[in-house]
Amino acid sequence: MSISDNRDFLKEIKLHPERFYIIHYSCQSLYDDNDGLSPRITSIAITHYSTEQTLSFSTHAMAEQLHIERQNVKERFDDIEKELLNEFYKFIRDRRDMYWIHWNMRNLTYGFEHIEHRYRTLTGTEPPVIPVERRINLNEILKSRYGSGYVKDPKMASLMELNGGIHRHFLTGAEEVTAFQNDEFIRMHNSTLCKVGFFHSVIERLTSGKLRTNSRGWGVKLDRLFESRCAKTIGLVGTIVGILSPLVALLALF
């Protein structure tokens, strides 16, 4: 099944929450100030939506597995990143038929294609690709439901401010670049983890009608009304009445 809009998404994730994973990653600068032509991947975090179990792949953990000292991380980064991506795709391989919720991971600059490109570059082999139709951009789902101006730019940070405040581990893109330059890979990893955790809470608030945005339109209010427990109860009563009415009419003939 392909999910085309916010209604499809809400229906499917309520019925089958076990089919959804949330993914986010951090990397080197997205601009031309890198040592290579494409940014290195520094951490990837994945949360299973229904169980909230989180799996992560990070520079510092891979370096420890390979017995690489902190001072040698930069010069051995190819080995570290290759191991990170190998472990990531081992997990992905048998789960490509699941839904993968992300935040603007949509092209070669930043997205699934970028991760695939780094894997091909480092290993010389093809990765097990997640089909495009199984990728769900949470930002686009929110735009579809609440309008393009549902929060001010930058949207992720603004949405976080409205729904509990900025997490202490949250880093902006510019802050992640600085962290990479300073070899603060654990700091980058913690930022990635806090973002997948935040996306999980956004989805829970979205499905329960409790997500706070700047949208005030009647369309949004009507959506919330019709998805409320009251509306569902009315719908159930209406269905029961519809079933019983012909029986009552039939009994009245005797």
CB 96 within 8 A of CB 134: yes
SS3 category, 56? strand
Q: What is the pLDDT of residue 137?
A: 97
Q: Which residues of 135-160 are buried (b: 16+ CB within 10 A; e: fewer)?
A: bbbbbbbbebbbeeebbeeebbebbb
All residue ranges of the chain with pLDDT < 70 are: 1-2, 32-36, 217-254
Name the strand (E) or helix (H) holding 102. strand 99-102
Q: What is the pLDDT of residue 34?
A: 60
Q: What is the pLDDT of residue 3?
A: 84
> 234: Cβ–Cβ under 8 A, 6 or more apart, which residues?
none
Q: What is the pLDDT of residue 244?
A: 59
Q: How many Å apart are CA 216 and CA 9, to the nearest integer?
A: 22
Neighbours of 100 (CB within 10 A): 20
Q: What is the pLDDT of residue 218?
A: 44
Segment 27-76, tens digit of pLDDT: 998 775 666 679 999 999 999 999 999 999 999 999 999 999 999 999 99
Q: What is the pLDDT of residue 233?
A: 53
Least Cα distance to 132 among 117, 112, 116, 114 occurs for 112
Q: Which residues of 29-62 are buried (b: 16+ CB within 10 A; e: fewer)?
A: beeeeeeeeebbbbbbbbbbbeeeeeebbbbbbb
Q: What is the pLDDT of residue 228?
A: 47
Query: Cis bond leading into 154, ω under 30°?
Result: yes
Structure tokens at 47: 């949360």
Q: What is the pLDDT of residue 31?
A: 72
Q: Helix-strand-coil percent breakdown of the chain, rounded to 5?
A: 55, 10, 35
Whole-model pTM: value is 0.85
Q: How many Å apart are CA 56 and CA 186, to the nearest integer?
A: 12
Say which amino acid occupies 147. Answer: G
Specify burial of residue 253 (Cβ count, 10 A radius: 0-12, 13-18, 19+). exposed
Q: How many Å apart are CA 73 and CA 58, to the nearest integer?
A: 12
- For the four alpha carbons of 172, 77, 54 and 141, in that order, the dihedral sign comes to positive
